[in-house]
Structure 1
Amino acid sequence: MPQECIFCKISAKEIPVPVIYEDEYIIAFPDIKPAAPVHVLVIPKKHIANLLELTSDDIMLMGHVLSTIPKIATKLGLAEDGFRLVVNTKDNGGQTVHHLHWHILGGRFMTWPPG
């Protein structure tokens, strides 16, 4: 765990957050700067800097993340009208915390392009 990684500190319970969902592999919590009425972050507890850092060892973890996000979105009341799922990668991709994470955005109509 990189000592300066805020998401590692959250997953280690060093920084408390309101937990939306948690299991042994991931944790989901509200974004502190929401860009939509519903804006939740989903992070793996394992530190992975970004999508480019994934290895074949992470296949099961990624399958777990992608199969759990719909359950989280349903719990948040987003299943009927839909939601946007975003993964930013590196600085030019808009990644501000260098720990792989997914944004679940919903509660309003999403426009395109996103920005």
Structure 2
Amino acid sequence: MSEDFYCEEVLSGRTLVQKVIETDNVLAYYHTRPFYPVHIVAIPKKHISSLLTLEPSDNDLLLELIDVVKQVAAKVTAEHGACRVITNLGKYQDSKHLHWHVIYGEPLR
């Protein structure tokens, strides 16, 4: 896997995605290789490597990102009755770009 799939593939347009919500600064879309029956990823369009590297100047972007995650979580919960919201850090973070997963169901793999 590339160091930053989101910048190199998704945001560049090289990999097409099914969008759920898009703002000027945030994109939420269905995961290209889902691990769950419902698997949506929300990312900032600005490169930020992880939750731990956010700067004070990123606060407005983080609030916008969390608002999109909230909207997606509300949509999934309304449709399925529940969801999980996850972000990964360190060795658990495959792509070094801040992202949140909104998921529902049991793992497919």
TM-score, normalised to structure 1's length? 0.78
* Aligned counterpart, 1:113: none
User: Please, which runs of 5 or more residues in structure 2 have no aligned partner?
Assistant: none
* Aligned counterpart, 1:8: 7
What whole-Å deviation, never above 9, does each CA across 1:30-89 have from its counterpart, x for those lacking one? 1233222110110100001111110101111111111222212333x4236121100001
Aligned partner letter, 2:43: I
- Report the alpha carbon displacement of residue 4 of structure 1 after superposing the two structures with TM: 5.9
- Answering whether residue 86 of structure 2 is matched by residue 95 of structure 1, we say no
User: Please, which runs of 5 or more residues in structure 1 have no aligned partner?
Assistant: 111-115
- Report the alpha carbon displacement of residue 109 of structure 1 after superposing the two structures with TM: 6.8
- Report the alpha carbon displacement of residue 105 of structure 1 after superposing the two structures with TM: 0.6
Equivalent residue pairs, number: 104
Partners of 1:40 and 1:31 in 2: how far apart? 5
**Given that residues 70 and 79 in structure 1 are in contact (C-alpha distance below 8 angstroms), is that contact kept between their aligned partners in structure 2?**
no
Aligned partner letter, 1:103: H
* Aligned counterpart, 1:79: 78
- Superposition map of 1:42-53 within 5 A: 42-53=42-53
